[in-house]
Amino acid sequence: MTRTVLVTGFEPFGGQDVNASWAAVERVAAGWDGPDRLVTLRLPVSFRGARQELRLAVRDHAPDVVVCVGEAGSRAAVGIERVAVNLVDAPIADNDGSRPVDVPVVAGAPAAFFSGLPVRACLAAGLATGRPVEVSTTAGTYVCNATFYALMHLLASRPGVVGGFVHVPRTPEQVGGEGPALSAEASAEVLTAVIRAASASGAATGADRLVAGRLD
């Protein structure tokens, strides 16, 4: 049976012309040769809109694997995120002009969700590409973390669906030599390896299914 993988990136924000996450996702799609069916989606940099569009995509495509990808401007390595926190503390407004501070992503929901990806297997697959990869324990408190948390909250009611979040650095073109960067092609190589490792895992086990401090 053909499995379906949903991979999302984000539109530009903060005055940028491109978003490194979507640039990488586009390259993953261009080089994808199966056997899984790959669906890609560009999300708005919007606390409300990203969550809504992601929910609709999961409903419409019924994916077996969901990997959301965001841009991390201060990083030099692709980061496989381990935990999403139920907190929004926006340093800047989103593309809708919304700037919530100290509010939950989902009211009354658990304080945190751990990634459903097989984090160590994804790390090993990423490192095998020869590109810089790391496990990250913070996805921030902006739209990336909110989307990651919303995804894991959604997938809590969909057992068997593997999901998680990955951050990629900005591209060299974005930073112009002023700060860490990684080419979209290099990020795409890592993402492809991570996606394949996630798909092969079937379902995460052990500590990677820890939810709000307890084993799911």
pTM comes to: 0.92
- Number of domain units in the chain: 1
CB 160 within 8 A of CB 62: no
pLDDT of residue 208: 43
Give the DSSP per-residue string, 104-144: -SSTTS-SEEE--S-HHHHHHHHHTTTS-EEEES---SSHH
Domain CATH number, residue 153: 3.40.630.20
| C-alpha angle 21-181-9 in degrees, rounded to nearest 5 | 5
**Cα-atom radius of gyration of the chain, to the nearest Å?**
16
Which residues are tagged catalytic? 81, 144, 167
* Structure confidence by residue, pLDDT tens digits, 161-208: 999 999 999 999 999 988 999 999 999 999 999 999 999 986 333 334
Local mean pLDDT, 10-residue blocks, the chain (216 residues) = 94 96 98 96 98 98 98 96 98 98 98 97 98 98 98 95 97 93 98 97 46 38
Which range marks the domain in which residue 180 is found? Answer: 4-215
pLDDT of residue 1: 76
pLDDT of residue 124: 98
49 backbone φψ class: left, alpha, beta (φ>0; ψ -120 to 50): alpha
pLDDT of residue 201: 84
pLDDT of residue 212: 43
d(CA 20, CA 34): 23
